[in-house]
């Protein structure tokens, strides 16, 4: 059914989210949710005393262990600044953990090395079996769904939680935060609610060519219920306990460690950059930057006019993206003609495959009811 186009009067979320709603002032439900559920939490949580109380608790529980906690490090801003906060402000002894899924940019690798040296911390890198990673990503492209970053996300988070569990590291420190991520992209934009083993299995069974013997895959309900609720693993988000400003954090990391910023969020992964800058907007018409910029608008870090101007053009030139399409096709063993045929094929969604989205959504709504999750999930 064709709907009339509308864009929020405060941020830049629009009716490319088919379930978006607007109030009488033209503000979208993301902005209303921010004002009602997130703004007060951010202002009240910004407490050095609260942060240091958390740090003391973590250190006290782990004084006889080699590490206080583990931090997944990608080389991007959020995880890099989290490592800085954990070591230099909280005084923790974190183990830095990196998952190499085959798509690191040179800048991401350099940033990781600079932080490891500058913070004098240990780094463990888990390299995903490339043939299995490739087969899973090929399967997802054949599936024609917009959620093309799910295989990478599954590798990152599953490997991290599995390693932490096996090595009895109780605290997982994450760069997830409300300051730059208060507006979560809807599931129609490739924002599926978590790692769903049923969805992965159905897609890979239909389109895969080899077994995933070593690929780490932990279902979202497994690490929420088994690891966290039953085994006591704690996921901590220190960036929600400080005044986290994107530009200031980039400048601080650059000054202290020689860290280099990226053109945009998630550009530390060459695949995610291609997926979010080319594949998703040009094949499906979805711009994750709308959610990214709207988060910054809500938290006072970006002007709406600047966001509208910036989203009117790609972060990368079309010539560059054309070369990237050739690179991704070749790396995944697609001919350019075959990859182009997939690009021009009929779009589908996760609903075309077996999944347990209803159960994951039920759990997400339960977390919102309990106040454990403030963002809109849909």
pLDDT at 188 over 70: yes
Could you tell me the pLDDT band of residue 370, with boundaries at 50, 70 and 90?
A: low
Q: Report d(CA 297, CA 276) in Å as an integer.
A: 20
pLDDT in tens, 225-280: 999 989 999 999 999 999 999 999 999 999 999 999 999 999 999 999 999 999 99
The SS3 assignment for 295 reads helix
Mind listing the pLDDT tens digit for each residue in 279-299?
A: 999 999 999 999 999 999 999
| DSSP reduced 3-state for 127 | strand
Residue 14 has pLDDT above 70, yes or no: yes
CA pair distance 265, 95, nearest whole angstrom: 24
Instruction: Tell me the domains of the chain and their CATH numbers.
Output: 29-369 (3.40.50.620)
How confident is residue 125, by pLDDT bands cut at 50, 70 and 90?
very high
- Predicted local confidence at residue 363, as pLDDT: 76
- pTM of the predicted protein model: 0.94
Tens digits of per-residue pLDDT, 98-112? 999 999 999 999 999
Tell me how far CA of residue 283 lies from CA of 145, 337, 346, in angstroms.
Answer: 10, 16, 10
State the Cα–Cα distance between residues 365 and 368, nearest whole angstrom.
Answer: 5
More confidently predicted of 370 and 369:
369
Query: What's the confidence (pLDDT) of residue 151?
Result: 98
Q: What is the pLDDT of residue 74?
A: 97
Look up residue 142 and give its two tokens. 């054949």
Q: What percent of the chain has pLDDT over 90?
A: 87
Q: Tens digit of pLDDT for each residue in 57-77?
A: 999 999 999 999 999 999 999
Confidence check: pLDDT of 1 > 80? no
Give the CA distances from residue 99 to residues 73, 116, 176, 345, in Å, rounded to whole numbers and listed in that order: 8, 15, 17, 31
Does residue 327 register a pLDDT over 90? yes
* Average pLDDT for 28-33: 96
Tokens 């002007």 map to which residue?
Answer: 303
Q: Residue 173 is inside which H or E element, if any?
A: strand 171-173
DSSP state of 230: I
Residue 47 — very low, low, confident or very high, per pLDDT cuts 50/70/90?
confident
What integer pLDDT is reported at residue 374 of this predicted model?
Answer: 65
Q: What is the mean pLDDT of the chain?
A: 94
- The angle subtended at Cα 259 by Cα 69 and Cα 123, nearest 5°, is 30
Dihedral sign (CA 150, 156, 159, 163):
negative
**φ and ψ at 158, to 5 degrees?**
-65, -45
Q: How many CA atoms lie within 13 A of 83 on its CB side?
A: 31
To 10 degrees, what angle do helices 336-343 and 318-331 make?
A: 110
214 burial (CB, 10 Å; 0-12 / 13-18 / 19+) is exposed
Distance of CA 190 to the CA centre of its chain: 11
The two tokens of residue 44 are 């009240």
Q: Please give the Cα distance from 281 to 287 (Å, whole number).
A: 5
pLDDT value at position 97? 98
- The pLDDT of residue 334 is 98
Range 347-366 average pLDDT: 89
The CA-based diameter of the chain, rounded to the nearest angstrom, is 62
Q: Which residues contact 298 (CB under 8 A, 6 or more apart)?
A: 10, 11, 30, 31, 34, 38, 39, 182, 183
Query: Is residue 95 helix, strand or coil?
Result: strand
């Amino acid at each position: 059914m064709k709907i009339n186009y509308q864009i929020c009067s405060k941020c830049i979320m629009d009716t490319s989210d088919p379930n978006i709603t607007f109030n009488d002032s033209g503000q979208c439900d993301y902005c209303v949710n921010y004002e009602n559920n997130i703004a007060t939490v951010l202002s009240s949580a910004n407490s050095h005393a609260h942060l240091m109380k958390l740090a003391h608790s973590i250190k006290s529980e782990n004084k006889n262990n080699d590490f206080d906690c583990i931090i997944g490090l990608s080389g991007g801003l959020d995880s890099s600044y989290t490592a800085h906060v954990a070591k230099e402000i909280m005084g923790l002894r974190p183990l830095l953990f990196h998952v190499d899924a085959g798509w690191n940019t040179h800048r991401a690798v350099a940033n990781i090395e600079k932080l490891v040296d500058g913070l004098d911390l240990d780094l463990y890198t888990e390299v995903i079996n490339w043939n299995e990673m490739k087969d899973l990503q090929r399967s997802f492209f054949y599936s024609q769904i917009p959620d093309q970053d799910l295989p990478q996300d599954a590798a990152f988070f599953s490997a991290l939680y599995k390693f932490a569990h096996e090595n009895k590291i109780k605290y997982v420190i994450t760069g997830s935060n409300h300051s730059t991520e208060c507006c979560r992209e809807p599931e129609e934009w490739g924002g599926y609610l978590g790692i769903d083993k049923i969805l992965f299995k159905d897609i890979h069974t239909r389109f895969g060519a080899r077994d995933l013997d070593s690929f780490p895959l932990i279902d979202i309900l497994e690490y929420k219920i088994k690891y966290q609720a039953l085994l006591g693993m704690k996921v901590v988000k220190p960036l929600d306990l400080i005044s986290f400003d994107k530009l200031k954090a980039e400048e601080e990391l650059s000054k202290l460690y020689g860290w280099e910023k990226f053109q945009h969020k998630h550009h530390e992964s060459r695949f995610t950059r291609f997926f979010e800058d080319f594949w998703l907007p040009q094949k499906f018409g979805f711009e994750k930057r709308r959610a990214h910029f709207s988060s910054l608008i809500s938290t006072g870090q970006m002007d709406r006019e600047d966001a509208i101007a910036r989203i009117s053009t790609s972060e990368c030139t079309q010539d560059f993206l054309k070369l990237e399409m050739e690179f991704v096709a070749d790396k995944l063993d697609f001919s350019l003609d075959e990859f182009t045929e997939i690009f021009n094929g009929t779009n589908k969604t996760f609903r075309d495959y077996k999944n347990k989205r209803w159960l994951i959504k039920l759990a997400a709504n339960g977390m919102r009811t309990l106040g454990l999750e403030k963002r809109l999930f849909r």
